[in-house]
Amino acid sequence: MKLFYCLLLFVTPAVFAQKSIQGKVTDHRGNALPGANVFLKGTYDGGTTDANGVFVFLTAESDTATMAASYVGFEVFEKKLNLKESIPVMTIKLEELANELNTVVITAGAFEASDEKRMAMLKPLDIVTTAGAAADITGAMQFLPGAQRVGEQEGLFVRGGSGQETKIVIDGMIVQNPFFSSLPDVQSRGRFNPFMFKGTSFSTGGYSAQYGQALSSVLLLNTTDKISNNGLGISLNLANAGLNYDYANKNQSVSAVVYYGNLRPLFKLVKQNVEWLHAPEFKGTSLTYRWKPTKNGVLKVYGMYSDSHLSMNSKDPSSDTGEMRLVLKNNNAFTTSTYTDSWADGRWTLNSGLSYSRNKDNMTWDGVNFDRFDERTQARIVLTRLLTGNNTILFGAEAHAINIGNGIDGKMYRLKDRYTAAFVESEIYITRALAGRIGVRSEYSSVIGRANVAPRLSFAYKTGRYSQISLAAGQFYQNPDYRYLYLNKSLKYERADHLILNYQIIKNQRTFRVETFYKNYAQLVREFTGQRFDADPYRFPWGATNNGGDGYARGFDFFWRDQKSIKNLDYWVTYSFVDSKRLFQQYEQSATPIFISNHNISLITKKWFEKAKTNLSATYAFTSGRPYYNPNNDEFLKDRTPAVHNVSIQASKLQSIKGNLVIFYATVDNILNTRNVFTYRYTPDGKTRYAVGPQSYRSFFVGMQIMLSKKAKVEKDDF
Amino acid sequence: MKRLFTFALLFVLATGMVWAQNEKYTKAMGDGINALLAIDRSKPDPKALVEIANRFERIAAAEPKEWLPKYYAAYANVLLGFVAPTLTEKDQYLDKANALLKDAEGVAGKPNDEIEVLKAYQSQIHLAADPMNRWQTDGEKFQGFLQAAKSINAENPRIYYLEASSAFFTPEEYGGGKKVAKPMLEKAQQKFTAFKPESGIHPDWGKMETEWMLSQTN
């Protein structure tokens, strides 16, 4: 009996005959995975694979056990083993988890700049460090492939589209007045500070069914949700002075900005081609509030108000003196609030928003009233459902109430539009290498009493670890310009059909991208005045109108960016070619529109000097000649302006002064003082031609930003 | 008498098995921790780190009620997130560390300063992988986790070590540098001197690094 107890005592620490388990771990192609963890679940028994993916370990388990194999970036493998039997040498194949190298992303027509996406071709901070962009969002977008530069007008001109064919969208909400009030032959800046946004996505066409009312492109801006606690900051430059203050606690944050600007000092220093009677003077304020009421929920409220005052003598060949006196006072307010949340481990996501904007231009031309007024109230809701295998489906709807008023020669025209839209879109991964996005959008506009249905489609296929091809197609509708609708409410939607093919390869901080497109325009508005073509871009379209116009745009563009070859040097080159003709507006025959330049080239370089804490940037931009109307030429729009060249440089320097961080910056635009001409106009008798060029030729700008807080940490790309 | 003896023996055996199991766990953890300590901090060997991470993961799978194996597995993955050669690999390890930390948090059940500290360390290494694009988001996270750790246990020396190391590696122009870090390191050193880990297998790293950095500030 004693012997029995003794045996029992010896048996407990269990030194049964140990079994050896061995094999190999590979990926699905059979490549060895060194460092994989192979073990019996619930025991300490296991091992790590060696350089050849081979593992071997001993176990004392004698029953059944679950063997597991795990490797970072791969799905866990599990298998039941019966340890009573002998275990043969195993080969375990692991499946890779979806990651950005093995999963395709739909990219045709999309040019993304975001903090989060590692593959983003342009980061938000690139906007402010690009010479020639004047820290303006659309200014930087003009250097991207697919964009054409039109020096005397604001807006983004994309692939043969006019500036009105691009909508600017903040957090899903259309921005009614993204630019400061338009002036004759002066390009206005955007109202928004690039630092407000975490991501920018510039679409060159074929965009998602989530957006509408843009024949050419959407520029999607997503406000940052990061809560910063930078304290007080001061900005001072030749044109304005501002204060900004950030405060954040755990779940809430507030940022406030106030500024006052006056361009008089700058105009004293930089020779102006425009005769200013009252240099632009502006003041404004904005407030951002963010709140995280639940774990995933974020409420953002943004409000801004600005007003401005200016007066100038504008060239006007039709008046006796050859010029007209413009006085403009503008009030602009924009508020937007969005709420996003997600439930059920992210399977459901909600994006909703409410926004109101109001803009008033008190404007007189030689004392005659030309007031402009508009307001837009909009609501939007989008629900996204994440399905298995990363497939998603989303549903959404939006409603807008738009009121517009326009004074023409002292007479007020008014318009009311109630616009609604609904959309559904699904992203489907057929395999990790092949994905598709199918969507449809339907809209109704009360002002024309019409509805439309627009399908959108894109596909992407991964051709290699770093390369892919994408295809996008779709139909896009937009209401006719409101100026036509004042007199004719029976007009139809204008339409564009897009087809885009894209190839890109991104490897080791180098990007190559080529895209080719064909765009068909239909139902464009034509105007019949029974008179000669009138090239004045600011005329009121009083003629009879119908939707008999059409047109096309086709072309291709290249993009090459290299951030790797030379340390701290980043450069990119773009080339865009477009060929386009249209029969629209007052055109008597199909012709290349005046805003089209066939060739656009830009070369952007940035170099960071570590020791001097200085960033230098230089930009060269080339825009080929554009058509202009010559009343003395029998052929319509056959004349071309000379090409536009611009070389600009920018330097920014970081300096710590008594623990406060100061950023100094200086830029010189058009350093070669090229006498660029954007277009030509003629006096009514057709005898005298005059040139429309930039507001100034060579110009410079200096300023600084002070952060009065030790908390403010700034890295090389933060200015 | 014989029956009593049998009972006593059985009792001893039963508790002995529990004790043996416990000892096995403590020993396995201790071995893993010693292996971690043996790693050359100035030039960590990724292979050895993977081995250690795997070891802790196996213990974690066998001891689902313990948070420490998950914690150490996460710690080894954070170190791997620092030494891995490419951004993609770094992020894979760091994502894994995050998942393990989430598990550890669930097992620990209540707020735990060591887990918050490791989360802060994870954000710091995540930031270091791509500073230009991450400094802002990760910087905020780093501060937030340290704040949370402080509110649980302000005496945890690793909080002050991480704060000091962040300052130490930030260039002077941006408000950092060795001068700024020195008093912070001294504070961390004080906290380390006063610190007694709960057991031989509870977190006790950072002292060596603090001392090395301090030696660099003179």
Closest Cα in chain A, distance from residue B98 (Å): 13
Same domain as A542, residue A654: yes
pLDDT at B15 over 60: no
* 3-class secondary structure, B218: coil
Closest Cα in chain A, distance from residue B112 (Å): 18
Please judge whether A115 and B137 are an interchain contact, meaning their C-beta atoms are less than 8 angstroms apart.
yes
DSSP element (H, E) containing A701: strand A699-707
Query: Which of B28, B62, B132 is nearest residue A717 as measured by Cβ atoms?
Result: B132
Binning pLDDT at 50, 70 and 90, where does residue B8 land? Answer: low
CB B188 within 8 A of CB B164: yes
Q: Which two tokens stand for residue A243?
A: 């204060």
Same domain as A512, residue A369: yes
Chain B interface includes A710 (CB < 8 A): yes
What radius of gyration, in Å, describes the C-alpha atoms of chain B? 20
Q: Identify the closest residue of chain B to A228 by CA–CA distance.
A: B140
Asked whether residue A478 is assigned to any structural domain, the reply reads yes
Higher-confidence position of B20 and A50: A50
Q: Identify the closest residue of chain A to B65 by CA–CA distance.
A: A42
Calpha distance A24→A49 (Å, rounded): 7
Asked whether residue A189 is assigned to any structural domain, the reply reads yes
Edge-first strand listing for the sheet containing A19-27 = A54-59, A19-27, A90-94
Q: Which two tokens stand for residue B7?
A: 């009972």
Calpha distance A47→A67 (Å, rounded): 11
pLDDT in tens, A414-457: 999 999 999 999 999 888 889 999 999 999 999 999 999 999 99
Q: Which residues of chain A have pLDDT under 50?
A: 1-4, 6-15, 119, 710-719
Same domain as A346, residue A223: yes
Residues of B in contact with A715 (CB under 8 A): 131-132, 135, 174
**In Å, how far are A373, A389, B69, B187 from B26, measured between CA atoms?**
76, 40, 10, 32
Please judge whether A713 and B170 are an interchain contact, meaning their C-beta atoms are less than 8 angstroms apart.
yes
SS (H, E, C) A567-618: CCEEEEEEEEEEEEEEECECCCCCECCCCCCCEEEEEEEEEEECCCCEEEEE
Q: Measuring CA to CA, which residue among B189, B186, B185 is closest to residue B166? A: B185
Conformation bin of residue A621: beta by default, left when phi > 0, alpha when psi is -120 to 50: beta
CA angle A354–A355–A358, rounded 5-degree value: 160
Q: Which two tokens stand for residue A302?
A: 């943004």
Residues of A in contact with B47 (CB under 8 A): 34-35
Closest Cα in chain A, distance from residue B51 (Å): 6
Q: Identify the closest residue of chain A to B27 by CA–CA distance.
A: A44
pLDDT in tens, A447-489: 999 999 999 999 999 898 888 899 999 999 999 999 899 999 9
pLDDT at B198 over 60: yes
Same domain as A514, residue A366: yes
CB A279 within 8 A of CB A262: yes
Q: Measuring CA to CA, which residue among A495, A427, A488, A434 is closest to residue A463? A: A434
Please judge whether B173 and A39 are an interchain contact, meaning their C-beta atoms are less than 8 angstroms apart.
no
CB A555 within 8 A of CB A532: no
Give the mutation candidate from A48, A59, A718 for the B interface (greatest B CB count, under 10 A).
Answer: A48
Same domain as A277, residue A176: yes
Same domain as A114, residue A62: no
CB A395 within 8 A of CB A383: yes
Q: Which two tokens stand for residue B193?
A: 């001197």
User: Phi and psi (nearest 5°) for A709?
Assistant: -160, 140
Query: Which of B13, B50, B140 is nearest residue A48 as measured by Cβ atoms?
Result: B50
Please judge whether A100 and B130 are an interchain contact, meaning their C-beta atoms are less than 8 angstroms apart.
no
Q: Identify the closest residue of chain B to A199 by CA–CA distance.
A: B133
Asked whether residue A497 is assigned to any structural domain, the reply reads yes
Chain B interface includes A243 (CB < 8 A): no
Q: CB B97: neighbour CB atoms within 10 A? A: 27
Strands A231-237 and A217-223: unpaired
Residues 88-117 of A with CB under 8 A from B: 99-101, 115
Same domain as A541, residue A405: yes
Higher-confidence position of B132 and A638: A638
* Widest Cα–Cα separation across chain A: 129
Asked whether residue A599 is assigned to any structural domain, the reply reads yes
Size of interface A-B (CB pairs under 8 A): 102
What single string gives the DSSP state of each residue in A488-541?
A: -TT---EEEEEEEEEEEEEETTEEEEEEEEEEEEEEEEEEE-SS-----TT---
Asked whether residue A434 is assigned to any structural domain, the reply reads yes
Same domain as A513, residue A542: yes
Q: In this predicted structure, which of A343-347, B136-140, B198-202 has the lowest mean pLDDT? A: B136-140
- For residue A554, what are the contacts with CB-CB under 8 A and spacing of at least 6? A160, A517, A518, A519, A578, A579, A580
Conformation bin of residue A367: beta by default, left when phi > 0, alpha when psi is -120 to 50: left
Q: Which domain holds residue A67?
A: 19-94
The four Cα atoms B201, B203, B205, B210 give a dihedral, to 10 degrees, of: -140
Please judge whether A229 and B93 are an interchain contact, meaning their C-beta atoms are less than 8 angstroms apart.
no
User: Phi and psi (nearest 5°) for B140?
Assistant: -65, -45
Residues 633-692 of A with CB under 8 A from B: 654-656, 659, 661
Please judge whether A9 and B17 are an interchain contact, meaning their C-beta atoms are less than 8 angstroms apart.
no
Calpha distance B106→A238 (Å, rounded): 56
User: Which stretches of chain B sit within 8 Å of chain A by CB?
Assistant: 2, 6, 9, 13, 16-17, 20, 24, 28, 46-47, 50-51, 53-55, 57-59, 61-62, 77, 80, 87-89, 92-93, 96, 130-133, 135-137, 139-140, 144, 170, 172-175
Residues of A in contact with B2 (CB under 8 A): 1
Q: Measuring CA to CA, which residue among A453, A525, A542 is closest to residue A490? A: A525
Closest Cα in chain B, distance from residue A413 (Å): 49
Q: What is the CATH number of the domain that holds A473?
A: 2.40.170.20
Calpha distance A96→A79 (Å, rounded): 18
Chain B interface includes A226 (CB < 8 A): yes
Asked whether residue A8 is assigned to any structural domain, the reply reads no
Q: What is the CATH number of the domain that holds A48?
A: 2.60.40.1120
Higher-confidence position of A423 and B177: A423
Please judge whether A713 and B174 are an interchain contact, meaning their C-beta atoms are less than 8 angstroms apart.
yes
Question: What local confidence, expressed as pLDDT, does residue B167 receive?
Answer: 86
Q: Which two tokens stand for residue A87?
A: 């275990």
Give the mutation candidate from B27, B47, B174 for the A interface (greatest A CB count, under 10 A).
Answer: B174
Asked whether residue A6 is assigned to any structural domain, the reply reads no
Binning pLDDT at 50, 70 and 90, where does residue B123 land? Answer: very high
Please judge whether A8 and B13 are an interchain contact, meaning their C-beta atoms are less than 8 angstroms apart.
yes
User: What ranges do the domains of chain B cover?
Assistant: 31-152, 155-218
Question: What local confidence, expressed as pLDDT, does residue A714 receive?
Answer: 42
What single string gives the DSSP state of each residue in A462-487?
A: E-SSSEEEEEEEEEEEEPPPHHHHTT
Question: What local confidence, expressed as pLDDT, does residue A715 receive?
Answer: 41
Q: Identify the closest residue of chain B to A612 by CA–CA distance.
A: B173
DSSP H helices in A354-415: none
Q: Is A269 exposed, middle or buried (0-12, 13-18, 19+ CB in 10 A)?
A: exposed
Residue finishing a domain among A60, A94, A128: A94
pLDDT in tens, A616-660: 999 999 999 999 999 999 999 999 999 999 999 999 888 777 767
CA A235 from centroid of its chain's CA atoms: 25
Q: CB B131: neighbour CB atoms within 10 A? A: 13
Please report how the helices A2-11 and B2-38 are oriented relative to each other, as an axis angle in degrees rounded to 10.
20
Q: Is A527 exposed, middle or buried (0-12, 13-18, 19+ CB in 10 A)?
A: buried
Residues of B in contact with A118 (CB under 8 A): 87, 130, 133
Residues 30-59 of A with CB under 8 A from B: 34-35, 37, 39, 41-48
Number of domains in chain A: 2
Residues 409-468 of A with CB under 8 A from B: none
β-partners of residue A384 are A349, A394
Q: Measuring CA to CA, which residue among A208, A146, A111 is closest to residue A554? A: A146
Closest Cα in chain A, distance from residue B211 (Å): 26
Asked whether residue A702 is assigned to any structural domain, the reply reads yes
Full-model pTM? 0.80
CA angle A310–A312–A315, rounded 5-degree value: 150
The DSSP 8-state label assigned to residue A389 in this structure reads G
β-partners of residue A469 are A461, A503
Same domain as A410, residue A365: yes
Same domain as A72, residue A179: no
Closest Cα in chain A, distance from residue B86 (Å): 10
The DSSP 8-state label assigned to residue A388 in this structure reads G
Q: Identify the closest residue of chain B to A716 by CA–CA distance.
A: B132
Calpha distance A234→A661 (Å, rounded): 11
